[in-house]
Structure 1
């Protein structure tokens, strides 16, 4: 299933969940369930933004965007993060109103059933989005999955709290739960924003991924002397790699080209889609830094 189809499904799930949560709030008058419904409105808006961003990101490179449109997904994730933060403040405001003007919660069990159905739906879809997003290296789908799962955990907390109200008579639980929802949404929104900004700022991959790529370069650069100034960045589903490759001055262009092709094939086998730029230099340009290809490497 393509990313665009997944984005359409995500929008459909968000609309269904919103309908269930709105019904839960309408039949109970619960401030906490109202807060949960408000968050789901943002899910719908975010799903639309994610769909548009994915369609834009899949466009091929053109004269104005020679490296493609991949970063559009990060823009979508940032917009979604910002909306999540705004939602957190709106929910917090509603919880304060609940403390100042307590509302008796009516028919909590019908609300629990409706909200629980929406929560289970989001649980299944949130994990599905994360799995597909990580497999496709899609920032928009991963952000969407994180957002949906944040809704799930707060949903379970709301259900547990509302179930206690009929037995305890503690109606202050309702605004308290809404405040806890706001705190959790704020936490998730901040983490989503941090990850999205890191992608736009071309943050390097984690050390484990960097080491794996360095090993691939060393293993496939037999005949070269050194690889230095290695720079790697991930933009959605595409990895950009560039480095300088030092070779003996007597080596022919054909042999150097063969080495570069071998390195590129090796890297793509490990990381998938990649744009690779290798700058070839003669041996007097060696810096004795980066990947030094020893005699053992040459024998490999």
Structure 2
């Protein structure tokens, strides 16, 4: 599914790039050129994204024991860099045409072509973002967000060209001003994509995902799940890795612990993603944790239950059992 979606995005980027270049060739408008340059980035990113999605889908091997999913972050990083470069080119062209304006031509035809391309970008981008979030694919989500940004930029291009058209090109400098405005938007978009890519490569904690994992665990908590700590959530492409230390009653047999782990895994798959991998370290409970333990009729309880520890983002990531000294 991700490969097919990204393939369509790549093919579409070529068609729209050709259309926008035609519009620029007809109009000689630097504002339209900004849209065309965005099309170059879309095209390169589309095929680069296609390669990364294909590579990310490969199973793990001896050289890549965690799979190939991180290539999606590299792809997104290159895409962000290309977007920033495109913004720089737009700035150069905009400043040049601000001081040396030129006559625009065939604005009616160019406006029609750009409008059609913008509508297609919006529809394709909305679909890609929705599917990318559903499939946990950063490449498809980033590609969709880029297409949407391109579509929003096109709206401003349409407004700018329309104003120039209505004023009969009496203000030739307006074309350059509109282009410089788009350059700021383009560079800002590139920075966001690049920033997210670096965050993924550095395994930066995704607070939103971590909070969601904790919320699901807390809402569906078993009495036997006495404590949870050292929780880590890492995204490798569409695969989510969850590492944690789970405290169970010390007298549980291996089969009992295995049953709890499988139920925990099923819980994560049903509420988060069907592509979840759990690395759970089992700890046996300690006497000082009796006051946190909600196991009914515990045969070895040494202290009555005071209150379960409510898991939250501030206490589950620490690498220490809870209850001691409290």
Query: Aligned-pair distance for 1:286?
Result: 7.3
Give the Cα separation in 1 of the matches to 2:33 and 2:107.
13
Q: Does 1:242 align with 2:224?
A: no
Describe the shift of the 1:249–1:64 C-alpha distance in structure 2 as closer, same or farther (beyond 3 A).
same
The aligned counterpart of 2:286 is 284
Describe the shift of the 1:33–1:286 C-alpha distance in structure 2 as closer, same or farther (beyond 3 A).
farther
**2:286 aligned counterpart, secondary structure:** helix
**1:94 aligned counterpart, secondary structure:** helix
Q: Does 1:35 align with 2:37?
A: no
Describe the shift of the 1:48–1:293 C-alpha distance in structure 2 as closer, same or farther (beyond 3 A).
farther
The aligned counterpart of 1:114 is 113
Aligned residue pairs total 292
The question of whether the paired residues in 1 share the 8 Å contact of 2:68 and 2:236 is answered with no
How high is the TM-score relative to the length of structure 1?
Answer: 0.91
Unaligned stretches of 5+ residues in structure 1: none
Give the Cα separation in 2 of the matches to 1:124 and 1:215.
34
Unaligned stretches of 5+ residues in structure 2: 296-306, 309-326
Q: Tell me which protein shows more helix as a share of its residues.
A: 1
CA deviation digits over 1:111-143, x for unaligned, max 9?
101111111111111111111111111111111
**2:228 aligned counterpart, secondary structure:** strand
Query: Aligned-pair distance for 1:48?
Result: 0.8
Q: Which moved more, 1:86-95 or 1:271-280?
A: 271-280
The aligned counterpart of 1:200 is 201
The aligned counterpart of 1:9 is 8
CA deviation digits over 1:158-199, x for unaligned, max 9?
111111123322111111111011111001111111111111
Q: Which moved more, 1:106-115 or 1:52-61?
A: 106-115
Query: Aligned-pair distance for 1:217?
Result: 3.3
Describe the shift of the 1:243–1:286 C-alpha distance in structure 2 as closer, same or farther (beyond 3 A).
farther
The aligned counterpart of 2:131 is 132
The aligned counterpart of 1:95 is 94
Give the Cα separation in 2 of the matches to 1:110 and 1:234.
46
Q: Give 1 or 2 for the bigger CA radius of gyration.
A: 2
Query: Aligned-pair distance for 1:202?
Result: 1.6
The question of whether the paired residues in 2 share the 8 Å contact of 1:85 and 1:190 is answered with yes
The aligned counterpart of 1:213 is 213
The aligned counterpart of 1:254 is 255
Q: Does 1:148 align with 2:150?
A: no
